[in-house]
Amino acid sequence: MKLSQVVKLTKGKILCGDEQLESDLGQAFSSDLMSDVLTLGLTDILLITGLVNLQVIRTAEMADIKHVLLVRNKTVSEDIIELAKSSGICLIHSPVSMFKASGELYHAGLKPIY
Amino acid sequence: MKLDYEIKGGDFASAGSASSQVKKVLARLNLDPKLVRKTVVALYEAEVNVVAHAWSGQISVDIDPSRIIISIKDKGPGIASIDRAMEKGYSTASQKVRDMGFGAGMGLPNIKNNTDKMSISSVIEEGTHLQFENYIR
């Protein structure tokens, strides 16, 4: 699935990394627990989370995750966007819930990790 | 090659900055990306642990042609039972740490999973010393 389709299906808005709109994604993982994200051992996934802080970006950076979808219409501070930019991470902001985002993307063919 | 970093306990905004710098150095050395990811995931878990639990800490990274050796020494309350701390799901983390997306009792087991060799020692009211190695194959 193209990242542009993720944006469309979740009524999202790209906060940074719009040069990655044509990236292809195969799998996604939804979690607010960064400890779980760090156990995955897979790269090139879409992380769907309602947790919005600097540690989400750091976690994505360490885990080689380049695409993060922030759900539940959270306020995203400028320092988070700046850190994502400097780490080469594409951030998408979405007003929908984690359940709805996950459901829409799964329905459209994005696969779970397990 | 040797690298040294300081960690401040409680400084959540900076948690991960040392791991990020180490990642950049390892990436420049053209090492296997999987090895780099495993090493920095382990280091990041350890760095978050120091920020979450200790007063201050020091990271030293030693890279030679055959392995990456990382030592994280902190001054802090220490770990009462290392056996319990190694159990998945056991945690003494504060609500603040949990709000950051951590504190689920998975840090030390995940460090073990991402390293080839790991040792930990701790003295109550003094601090904890964690050391791990990943082999360059």
- A78 in B contact zone (CB under 8 Å): no
Query: Measured between alpha carbons, how far apart are the two ends of chain A, in Å?
Result: 18
Which residues are CB-contacts of B131 (< 8 A; sequence separation ≥ 6)? B69, B70, B71, B72, B118, B119, B120
How distant is the Cα of A20 from the closest Cα of chain B, in angstroms? 20
Torsional sign, CA A13, A16, A57, B98: negative
Domain A3-108 has CATH 3.40.720.10: no
- pLDDT at residue A103 greater than cutoff 90: yes
For the stretch A41-99, pLDDT in tens is: 888 899 999 999 999 999 999 999 999 999 999 999 999 999 999 999 999 999 999 99
> What's at B33, amino acid-wise?
P
Write down the ipTM of this complex.
Answer: 0.93
Provide, as residue numbers in chain A, all residues whose Cβ is less than 8 Å from the Cβ of B41.
38, 62-63
The token pair that represents A65 in the structure block? 């995750």
Is-contact A34 B102, C-beta < 8 A?
A: yes
CB proximity B132 to A under 8 Å: no
pLDDT tens, N- to C-terminus, chain B (137 residues): 999 999 999 999 999 999 999 999 999 999 999 999 999 999 999 999 999 999 999 999 999 999 999 999 999 999 998 999 998 888 888 888 898 888 888 889 999 999 999 999 999 999 999 999 999 98
Backbone angles phi, psi at B2, to 5 degrees: -120, 140
pLDDT in the model for residue A56: 97
> Between β-strands A111-112 and A90-93, what pairing exists: parallel, antiparallel or unpaired?
unpaired
CA distance B117 to B111: 10
Domain ranges of chain A: 3-108
Q: What are phi and psi of A85, to 5 degrees?
A: -60, -50
Looking at residue B99, what is its pLDDT?
86
The residue of A31, A56, A58, A87 whose CB has the most chain B CBs within 10 angstroms, and thus the best one to mutate to test that interface, is A58
Interface contact flag, A58 B20, Cβ < 8 Å: yes
| Contact with chain A for residue B44, Cβ under 8 A | yes
Where do the domains of chain B lie, and which CATH numbers do they carry?
A: 2-135 (3.30.565.10)
